[in-house]
Amino acid sequence: MAVQAGLENGIPVAVAMNAEMTFMLAVGRGEWSLSRALFDAPAGTARPVLIAAQYPATYEPSGSDGSVVISFDVDPKGTTANLHVEHSSNSALESEVIGIVRSWRFQPGVKGSDRVSVRCTLEFVKQDGNMHP
């Protein structure tokens, strides 16, 4: 799909857009990785920027690998609010992901000169190191 510059009266202008990004990260034993991030920023809003993300040094033994999709708002203070697990392949992993995301900090979304809430959906994947591509 070709992307064209935004035009206003024939002059190129900045245009806000939503983009889904897929990440493929190498993971070691028992590590979480972020595999997908989607920001649903209102029109004309600059999306939030992640500035602090802590992951646990090692995972809690939960019995299996899996994935968790979580959605939340990045509020005007840059903190996460209204966390909701959208999907989980293993309910034992949900509290781990909630704990990870709850501590993250963002530069909040901005529309004009106002900080605004922006909805975000993330997919996390956890592997125990025994899986092979």
Taking Cα atoms as reference points, which of 108, 22, 125, 118 lies closest to residue 66?
Answer: 125
pLDDT at 119: 96
pLDDT at 1: 46
pLDDT at 5: 63
What domains lie within the chain, and their CATH numbers?
19-127 (3.30.2420.10)
pLDDT at 60: 54
Q: Do residues 55 and 32 lie in contact, with contact meaning Cβ atoms separated by under 8 Å?
A: yes
**What's the rounded Cα separation, in Å, for the pair 63 and 27?**
18
pLDDT at 57: 58
Determine if the pTM surpasses 0.85.
no
Q: Which parts of the chain sit beneath pLDDT 50?
A: 1, 23-29, 131-133
**What's the rounded Cα separation, in Å, for the pair 110 and 18?**
14
- What are the tokens at 13? 């202008």
CA dihedral (26, 108, 42, 22) in degrees, to 10, reads 0
Q: What is the pLDDT of residues 50-68, one digit of tens each?
A: 998 876 655 555 556 789 9
DSSP string, 63-90: SS-EEEEEEEEE-TTS-EEEEEEEEES-
CA distances for 61 relative to 75, 83, 90, 105, angstroms: 32, 23, 13, 26
Q: What is the pLDDT of residues 32-48, one digit of tens each?
A: 788 889 999 988 999 99
